[in-house]
Structure 1
Amino acid sequence: MEPSRWQLIDDLAEFLDAAEDFLGSRPALHTVTLTVSEALRTRGPYAHGAEPPRFGVLRGPGGPVRATLLHTPPHPVQLTPLDPADAAALADRLAEAGHRVPGVWAERETAAAFATAWQRRTGASAEQTERQRLYRLAELIPPDRTPPGRARVAEAADRELLARWYVEFAADTGGRVHQDPAQWADSRLAHGGATLWETPDGTPVSLAGNLPESAGQIRVAPVYTPAALRGHGYAGAVTAEVSGRAAATGAEVLLFTDLANPVSNRLYQRLGYRPVADFATWTFTAPAD
């Protein structure tokens, strides 16, 4: 029987032609690959970074795709679930191709298996730098208390605010800003993907974003309230608004949380979100010459 094999791909259309059915078979587990692919298709190859993206598919015996790779430098490589043997084969394939791998983001066991394989293959050091949990909305449970004010979809006049909060959110969560903040704001405004909670006097106090529908799902991201405004229920109110609007379309509604933040994890579970799977980011440091 023909062994499984990894194929590296440079062209998005070729990748989607090969992997679309596989990715659509488990859209919740593959949500990030689906949404990033859609952004690259609609906004161009540099939507998530200054370097061209790279892709890969793992074909099992007989040819069906059973795993994928997506890399938009300088972000970590994104992988769908793999067993340790396939993770090791991928590490070998990428190293042989001279592919620079700054890190990996995947379902928890897959990320750990690839990190171990990459260390063994290259001598790089690896550190787990983030743990996330993917949630699916089962049934929306409105907050017990709704703060004064209302939700509204962000408009062009909010562009500067969205750009600033995008930068603040990245700093608050320990991430890096990999996209021009104004371009990020424009992309959200273009599809109504940013909703603000504002106080009765019209002051915006919290943000809940959503990505466009892809493969029957809508992912809520990001949710941000400036530190000085927290503790008033704004995040719960605006997240409930965005979640309910997304659910009303018939889409599956998803979101990720940082497992290091127990407050947000409790909030989303109170709103009716239920765990799907845990994910992890590992960051690699190349060995010194």
Structure 2
Amino acid sequence: MEPCDWQLTDDLDEFLRTAGDFLRSRPALHTVTLTVSEALRTRGPYAHGAEPPRFGVLRDAGGPVRATLLHTPPHPIQLTPLGPPDAAALAGRLTEAGHQVPGVWAERETAAAFATAWQQRTGASTEQSERQRLYRLAGLTPPDRIPPGRARVADAADRELLARWYVEFAADTGGRIRQDPAQWVDSRLAHGGATLWETPDGTPVSLAGNLPESAGQIRVAPVYTPAALRGHGYAGAVTAEVSARAAATRAEVLLFTDLANPVSNRLYQRLGYRPVADFATWTFAAPAG
């Protein structure tokens, strides 16, 4: 059977009408597309980038959606799981449309399949630049030792601190700053999506964020403790607090970890998170000349 055609659009409403049921059918695997789409819907088309986003849907003629594409330039395209033939068809469709693709983020095998297809189609060099693991909370196990202090939801007085930690987190994880820091902070404060652990004297020492509920799932992100303050249990304590609050809503609680960081992976497993799937980012560079 020949791969079906990819339909591309710049219209978010059209994309959600067509692909919404498909995305909600597997909210864990589709968590990033769901949350980014919701941000674009509520905060506007430039919530995740300086250029208009683009969307894509793969479906049988008159049949159900089988995969989606979401791109918020200048970031990598995001794909839901698909096989090599459909990845090759998408590479062809995007090159025919003149669409610039700086990289891909997707479930591990999907990302590798598209990177291979893109290299074969364009001659670009490709490199896997990040490996992540998606976890689901199976049942919260609080840390054995809770450090002195307490968790509290960040407020407007924490705006400068949150913006600085957002930038530091991106640098610490080797990623790029995906949003304007001030806009990121305002979006988190708007829904209580940033929780701080503070010492008894009121000094913030760690952050655990969460995105708004979407399709019955809440994703914990980011978790950050400045380097000089690590090793005291702050991250575990504040992550447990945010996880418990999210679980109390009866939502599915998710988070991503960097597989290059074994410490964080062990921490989340101790808290009761269990692996769902591995994801990868591949970056592309145009051929020389």
Give TM-score, length-normalised by structure 2. 0.99
1:77 matched to 2:63 = no
1:23 matched to 2:23 = yes
Aligned to 1:247: 247
The residue correspondences of 1:1-289 to structure 2 (distance < 5 A) are: 4-289=4-289
- Cα distance in 2 for partners of 1:286, 1:26 equals 34
Q: Give, in angstroms, the shift of residue 61 of structure 1.
A: 4.6
- Cα distance in 1 for partners of 2:33, 2:140 equals 26
Q: Give, in angstroms, the shift of residue 178 of structure 1.
A: 2.8
Matched AA of 1:76: P
Matched AA of 2:68: T
Matched AA of 1:39: A
Deviation digits for residues 120-176 of structure 1 (CA, Å, limit 9, x no counterpart): 000000000000000000000000000000000001000000000000000000011
SS, match of residue 201 in structure 2: coil
Q: Give, in angstroms, the shift of residue 183 of structure 1.
A: 1.1
- Cα distance in 1 for partners of 2:85, 2:282 equals 18
- Cα distance in 1 for partners of 2:218, 2:184 equals 18
Stretches of structure 2 that go unaligned for 5 or more consecutive residues are none
Q: Give, in angstroms, the shift of residue 4 of structure 1.
A: 1.6
- Cα distance in 2 for partners of 1:205, 1:148 equals 11
- Cα distance in 1 for partners of 2:78, 2:259 equals 19
Stretches of structure 1 that go unaligned for 5 or more consecutive residues are none
Q: Is the contact made by 2:150 and 2:197 (CA closer than 8 Å) also made in structure 1?
A: yes
Deviation digits for residues 247-273 of structure 1 (CA, Å, limit 9, x no counterpart): 000100000000000000000000000
Q: Give, in angstroms, the shift of residue 3 of structure 1.
A: 5.5
Give TM-score, length-normalised by structure 1. 0.99
Matched AA of 1:59: R
Q: Is the contact made by 2:3 and 2:86 (CA closer than 8 Å) also made in structure 1?
A: no
Matched AA of 1:23: L
- Cα distance in 1 for partners of 2:63, 2:11 equals 19
- Cα distance in 2 for partners of 1:236, 1:226 equals 14
- Cα distance in 1 for partners of 2:84, 2:12 equals 26
- Cα distance in 1 for partners of 2:3, 2:191 equals 43
Q: Give, in angstroms, the shift of residue 60 of structure 1.
A: 2.2
Q: Give, in angstroms, the shift of residue 191 of structure 1.
A: 0.4
Deviation digits for residues 27-77 of structure 1 (CA, Å, limit 9, x no counterpart): 000000000000000000000000000000001254211100000001100
